[in-house]
Structure 1
Amino acid sequence: MPEQTEAPAGAELSLTAATAAVVAELAEAGKLGPGKILVVGASTSEVAGVRIGTGGALEVAQQLLQGIRQVAEERGFHTVYQCCEHLNRSLVMERSLLESLRLREVSAVPVPGAGGSMAAVAYSFMADPVLAETIEAHAGIDIGETLIGMHLRRVAVPFRPSLRYIGSARVNAAFSRPPLVGGERAVYRTQETNGSRQCD
């Protein structure tokens, strides 16, 4: 008798609901709110159960986007979307964000065959979309292991959401924290001086 394989946790949820659940959990852990930035990488092929880059689907991307936007609007953080390697993993974002951060603009319009379905759909839903070369985001979600680490600020803290799959795609995530500088005498929380030896 062939072995039975269990469906991934969350398989009973719609793609929109599963995506919203994962993003909400990451937003809570990473304290995402106004002024913070979430970078999203997604392979709609992997979500649909085929190898990355072989079966992109706009309708899948629309469902993922709906879940992401739901949480972003509730909590007030910005979202940017990573294109595929054909557009050098540039990022779709609102022009207002690019200009406020003084990022370098690059020229292209993402389409499913060059940029990816997720980036193409995000571009179509934005008020004034533009592509940026890179960014340092406060957190990231990677649906289908597309590799988003190049766009996260230091120091990235891996985060394991309760749902490890959206559709058939494995989900990874991370949020960031400021680097801890100093050595054994460094203090990382405000407190009263306790008479310890001071630096010159």
Structure 2
Amino acid sequence: MTQINEALTKGLTEFLDRANYEPGDLFVLGCSTSEIQGQRIGQDSNLAVGETVISTVLPLVQSHGLHLAVQGCEHLNRALVIERAVAKQLAYEPVTVYPSLKAGGATQVAAFKAFDDPIMVEHVQAQLGMDVGDTAIGMQVKFVQIPVRTSVTEVGHAHTTYLASRPKLIGGERAVYTWSADNYS
């Protein structure tokens, strides 16, 4: 568990140092405890591993002023656990389901236990996130997604990636993407 904690802390710290975000933004976590243990995704959920992930990620994300949403597995259509107040603030509609080790996964169960007032929502539009074990968080991160590289590419045996986002650049050859006096003179 110490190695998992260290890898998560190092990778997430590097990511948050490089990513562009604001306090109050939403951070999505997808995590397969099976993959961390070297098993195929969804085959060996482990609550102790999930609790280690959440006890590491949650305080680090919160210390940067971010809100955490934790994606579940395909058996819950990748629904997410989120704090009720955050869901209400962002106008996310609750859905009726509870995570379990066989549907949602160990990390989502651990988050549901750790949150103050957890609810489940069908989908989110997070500004950034971390994917531990190829859980496909891209559907939960708003466009335009930007992969961010860190020195940590695996947590345990799980391939790990990081996604930030930026607003879309729209327009054509006359479009300007910086604000200066040239814009109005």
Same fold at TM > 0.5: yes
Paired amino acid for 1:100 = Q
Q: Secondary structure at the match of 1:14?
A: helix
Structure 2 match to 1:119: 108
Q: Secondary structure at the match of 1:174?
A: strand
Which deviates more from structure 2 when the two are superposed, residues 173-182 or residues 16-25? 16-25
Deviation at 1:29, TM superposition (A): 1.8
Paired amino acid for 2:27 = L
Unaligned runs of 5+ in 1: 1-12
Structure 1 match to 2:16: 27
Find the aligned partners of 1:47 and 1:32 in 2 and give their Cα distance. Answer: 27
Structure 2 match to 1:77: 66
Report the RMSD for the aligned CA atoms in angstroms: 1.5
| Contact 1:20–1:70, Cα closer than 8 Å, also in 2 | no
Structure 2 match to 1:160: 149
Deviation at 1:195, TM superposition (A): 8.1
Find the aligned partners of 1:32 and 1:154 in 2 and give their Cα distance. Answer: 14
| Contact 1:81–1:93, Cα closer than 8 Å, also in 2 | yes
Unaligned runs of 5+ in 2: none
Find the aligned partners of 2:184 and 2:151 in 1 and give their Cα distance. Answer: 45
TM-score normalized by structure 1? 0.87
Q: Secondary structure at the match of 2:81?
A: strand
Q: Which runs of 4+ in 1 moved over 6 A?
A: none
1:102 equivalenced with 2:86 (yes/no): no
- The partner residue of 2:179 within 170, 174, 190 is 190
Q: After superposition, what is the alpha-carbon deviation per residue over 1:129-182, rounded to whole angstroms, capped at 9, x for unaligned?
A: 000111100011110001111111010011122110000101011100000011
TM-score normalized by structure 2? 0.94
1:173 equivalenced with 2:124 (yes/no): no
Find the aligned partners of 2:113 and 2:23 in 1 and give their Cα distance. Answer: 23
Q: Secondary structure at the match of 2:39?
A: coil
Structure 1 match to 2:126: 137
| Contact 1:56–1:112, Cα closer than 8 Å, also in 2 | yes
Query: Identity of counterpart residues, as a percentage?
Result: 36
Higher helix share: 2
| Contact 1:32–1:75, Cα closer than 8 Å, also in 2 | no
Paired amino acid for 1:114 = A
- The structure whose Rg is larger is 1
Deviation at 1:48, TM superposition (A): 0.6
Find the aligned partners of 1:194 and 1:49 in 2 and give their Cα distance. Answer: 54
Deviation at 1:64, TM superposition (A): 1.1
| Contact 1:43–1:143, Cα closer than 8 Å, also in 2 | yes
Q: How many residues are paired up?
A: 184
Paired amino acid for 1:66 = S
Paired amino acid for 2:175 = A
